[in-house]
Amino acid sequence: MPARSPPRQPAPAPPGALAWYASEAGQGVLAVEERAMARVLAGCPALPWLWLGVPGAVAPEATVRRGVRLCRTPGGLFDGTVRCGLPLPLASESMCAVLLQHALDDTAAIGPLLDECARVLAPGGVLWLAALNPWSPYRARWARSGLRARDPGRWQAALRRAGFAVDTVGVQWLGPHWRVAHGEVGIGAADRLRAGIALTVSKRVHAPIPPTPVPALLRWQGAPAGGRGARRAREAIMRR
């Protein structure tokens, strides 16, 4: 699908809580995440990927694989490669990765969008979810903006409800501590005072259903262990 706007241009900032990300303080959170998203895409197979972002964010660059870029707008809609709402107009299990960049940091219900992320991800695909860190002193910069920060435990519970394998969740702490610039933008796996968190989780691969053992099949048919009933059941199986 052709992009409706140049992919490396930041999305326009509509009114609403998510417009904070287009501010200088919001850009300080987003800056480091471009590198984190690039690493996720570098480790994915050759399938398309989906980016769901916020105003002021820059979608990943298209390399060899095609990407779908959608930005949250007021009213719960998305705009970018296509303009749509939920459910997303994408085939099930068609994406190798979904990058959810702060698109659920306002008061919108998180369940419906996470359910859609699980639906469009291929088995073994990766969901990368960036959100605000409620424990960071940087929270003073988004105070009274209408944004909502959830701790990693609440995100993991929401991912579990959406069907993700939460035993595979990895957590990173991203972004500045307090100052917007001056070298504080970085990635620290154990630095829990940074402005943002990123959770990475895989979609579980379903194991194939094994064939039904013959004894179990005989029991299911209600045949006794011996006699003519068992013989007829065995003959019926051999004719299949």
pLDDT at 128: 97
**Do 193 and 236 sit in the same domain of this protein?**
no
For residue range 58-89, what is the model confidence (pLDDT) as tens digits?
998 865 568 999 999 877 799 999 999 999 99
Residue 174 lies in a domain: yes
Name the domain count of the chain. 2
Maximum pairwise Cα distance, the chain: 86
**Do 239 and 183 sit in the same domain of this protein?**
no
Q: Is the pTM of this model over 0.85?
A: no
**Do 147 and 229 sit in the same domain of this protein?**
no
**Do 117 and 221 sit in the same domain of this protein?**
no
What torsion, rounded to 10 degrees, do the Cα atoms 129, 163, 157, 132 define?
10
For residue range 40-56, what is the model confidence (pLDDT) as tens digits?
998 887 789 999 999 99
Residue 8 lies in a domain: no
Q: Peptide bond before 87: cis, by omega within 30 degrees of 0?
A: yes
Q: Give yes or no for residue 206 having a pLDDT over 90.
A: no
**CA-to-CA distance for 52 and 113, rounded, in angstroms?**
10
Residue 3 lies in a domain: no
User: Which residues, at least 6 apart from 235, have a Cβ–Cβ distance to it below 8 Å?
Assistant: none
**Do 109 and 136 sit in the same domain of this protein?**
yes
pLDDT at 76: 77
Domain span at 227: 209-240
